C-alpha cells in the first residue's frame, strides 16, 4: 500500500468534504501500514496490567468513528443497544482487556473498514456548509461538524502512537 502525502479534495465530494476525506483516508492508511503483519499474539499482548492491547485500541478507533457517525449524521446519542455493542472498546479498561482478544488482524481491519465505508457513504450526501453546522454538548459547549471529524482523526493518531509504543515494547521497531 502506497500512502499519498497530499491533502487534496477527493472526487465525489464537495471541496472541503473531499479534503476531509483525504485526511481521514491518509490517517487510516498510515494506521493500516503500522499494523500490517501483526500476529494475533501481537494484537493480544499486554505490556502491563493497565495497558490496552493493540486489538482493543483498533476497536476503540472504530468505536469512536461509529459514535461520531451517530452524533454527526443522525444528531442523536447512542441507543442502549448501540452502547451495549460498543461499550467495551469505547471505554477500554479492565473489561476490555478481558474481552477484546483472540481475533486475527483481518477481524480488526474489517471492523475499521466497515465503519469507514459507512462514514464515506454518508459524507457523499453532505456539503461544505454542513461542516460548519453547530450544535452544543449537554453541558452547553458548542461544536461544529468539522470539529467532530477532526476529533475522529486526532483520536486515531493518538492511539496509533500507543500502538507504536506497544510494538516497540514487543521489539517490532517503530
C-alpha cell at 118: 459507512
Neighbour count for residue 146 (Cβ, 10 Å): 18
What's the number of CA atoms in the CB half-sphere (13 Å) around residue 5? 0
Domain boundaries, the chain: 15-169
Residue-wise pLDDT for 29-87, tens only, equals 999 999 999 999 999 999 988 999 999 999 999 999 999 999 999 999 999 999 999 99
- The answer on pLDDT for 4 being more than 80 is no
**What does the pLDDT average to over 113-137?**
96
Q: What is the pLDDT of residue 135?
A: 93
- The CATH code of domain 15-169 reads 1.20.120.450
- How far apart CA 78 and CA 52 sit, in angstroms, is 24
Element (H, E) at 73: helix 54-74
Q: What is the pLDDT of residues 71-80, one digit of tens each?
A: 999 999 999 9
Amino acid at each position: 500500500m502506497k500512502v499519498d502525502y497530499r491533502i487534496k479534495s477527493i472526487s465525489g465530494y464537495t471541496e472541503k468534504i473531499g479534503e476531509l476525506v483525504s485526511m481521514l483516508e491518509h490517517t487510516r492508511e498510515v494506521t493500516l501500514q503500522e499494523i500490517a503483519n501483526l500476529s494475533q499474539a501481537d494484537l493480544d499482548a499486554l505490556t502491563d496490567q493497565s495497558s490496552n492491547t493493540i486489538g482493543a485500541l483498533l476497536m476503540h478507533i472504530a468505536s469512536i468513528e461509529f459514535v461520531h457517525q451517530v452524533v454527526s449524521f443522525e444528531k442523536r446519542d447512542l441507543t442502549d443497544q448501540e452502547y451495549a455493542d460498543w461499550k467495551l472498546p469505547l471505554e477500554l479498561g479492565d473489561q476490555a482487556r478481558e474481552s477484546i482478544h483472540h481475533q486475527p488482524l483481518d477481524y480488526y481491519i474489517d471492523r475499521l473498514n466497515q465503519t469507514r465505508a459507512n462514514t464515506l457513504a454518508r459524507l457523499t450526501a453532505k456539503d461544505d456548509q454542513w461542516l460548519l453546522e453547530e450544535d452544543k454538548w449537554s453541558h452547553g459547549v458548542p461544536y461544529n461538524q468539522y470539529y467532530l471529524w477532526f476529533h475522529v482523526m486526532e483520536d486515531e493518531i493518538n492511539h496509533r502512537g500507543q500502538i507504536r509504543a506497544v510494538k516497540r515494547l514487543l521489539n517490532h521497531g517503530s
